[in-house]
Amino acid sequence: MVSLFTSVLLSLCLFSSHILSNVNAKPKLGFTTDLIHRDSPKSPFYNPAETPSQRMRNAINRSFNRVSHFTDLSEMDASLNSPQTDITPCGGEYLMNLSLGTPPSPFMAVADTGSDLIWTQCKPCDDCYTQVDPLFDPKASSTYKNVSCPSSQCSALKGEAPCSTEDKTCSYGISYGDGSYTEGKVAVDTLTLGSTDNRPMQLKNIIIGCGHNNAVTFRNKSSGVVGLGGGAVSLIKQLGDSIDGKFSYCLVPENNQTSKINFGTNAVVSGPGTVSTPLVLKSRETFYYLTLKSISVGSKNMQTPNSDTKGNMVIDSGTTLTLLPVKYYFDIENAVASLINAEKSKDERIGSSLCYNATADLNIPVITMHFEGADVKLYPYNSFFKVTDDLVCLAFGMSFSRNGIYGNVAQKNFLVGYDTVSKTMSFKPTDCAKL
């Protein structure tokens, strides 16, 4: 990663009794997994000593830290004296529980739509961060196999996978802007997704990173990353034809509730209220790009400064706020403030520039995101987030890039579908808690 880190208590729904669990056989799969927000009491990141405002401030900081992950230097707004920001690796907001090897060794990992490689810490660990779960031991798995070099599996990691001169095995090394990194062996092994009906799914010969030298910023218990991006070694691409390139998720508004992520036949988004927009391909194939044409606040429609640029916004489940180019952000903020007849509040701990007393009658205006071919009408809880019982703030922020990031607050109570084959992204208003 860099920057979509949700306990995979899998509700596995197979629609044909003869479907096999072996991904290599290319069956058509449909299954659903729980996602646990990092601030949920079910998450290892949960700190009961933190106040709601502290959790929200941390989430906002993670949002801004992820901007540099999605931004090329060429995309930075040269007209702004932008500050240097570090990348927070695996700064995702959702976690999964899964198992690796034979017999299965359980571990918890960050689910990240902003990265590709699936990796975990492994024995022997030359230099690793502290985790609560036992380290994965490759020697204890009968299905573990180092990837040889050269090979198609090694080359799938492109420049991140050098060949070892000692044993001709494939190694990898990924570093992040804040000095964090993961280094180790590229391997294949069986990844097991558990299910509540005791029918675990085994995904055989999945390419993984076995990290022997790692330093990251997340607190203990999380053992690695499950990459859900668009690159060749992500879980989505490795499942490939078996899920027809489809996955979707539905994020509940309350972080202490369980969200859902769906794959394959379970991931189809259709029916009344569904709108779709093209996924735009760019050189950075990991990320999912959309084209935002304009934003409406009430009846005022404001065109994005780069509305003619295809793929001017990244959608990311691991970023909390929706981030916009600075000048455009202030246009949106001013339009929102002009329609709310209430006194502004300030909370320096949060860092959001438009906040109000939560007890006031705000009459929040309707904000509509006009993507190419798809108008997504936000609910009040998509536009504003509750910091404390007394304070709500606009769920938009500034990006020091020409492009934007569509964050997870705006996506809550929408069934969000990724179809990497037809290259479309779909949104359907949904009560996610009822799924």
Tokens of 393: 């703030």
Tokens of 358: 């939560």
Separation of CA 222 from chain center:
15
Helix, strand, coil tally for the chain in percent (to 5): 15, 35, 50
Considering only the C-alpha atoms of the chain, give the largest distance between any 2 of them, rounded to a whole number of Å: 69
- Whether 186 contacts 171, CB under 8 Å: yes
Cα dihedral 216, 150, 141, 245, rounded to 10, equals 70
Verify whether residue 112 is a known catalytic residue: yes
Q: Helix or strand or coil: residue 270?
A: coil
Buried b (16+ CB within 10 A) or exposed e, 248-282: bbbbbbebeebbbbbbbbbbbbeeeebbbbbbbee
* Angle, CA of 99, 102 and 103, to the nearest 5°: 80
Active-site pick, 34, 112, 133, 331: 112
DSSP β-ladder status, 275-278 and 181-193: unpaired
Active-site pick, 39, 178, 244, 316: 316
Q: How many CA atoms lie within 13 A of 43 on its CB side?
A: 28
Cα–Cα dist 119/210, whole Å: 6
Cα–Cα dist 186/135, whole Å: 16
Buried b (16+ CB within 10 A) or exposed e, 189-214: bbbbbbbeeeeebbbbebbbbbbbeb
Cα–Cα dist 120/185, whole Å: 11
User: Any idea which residues carry the catalytic annotation?
Assistant: 112, 316
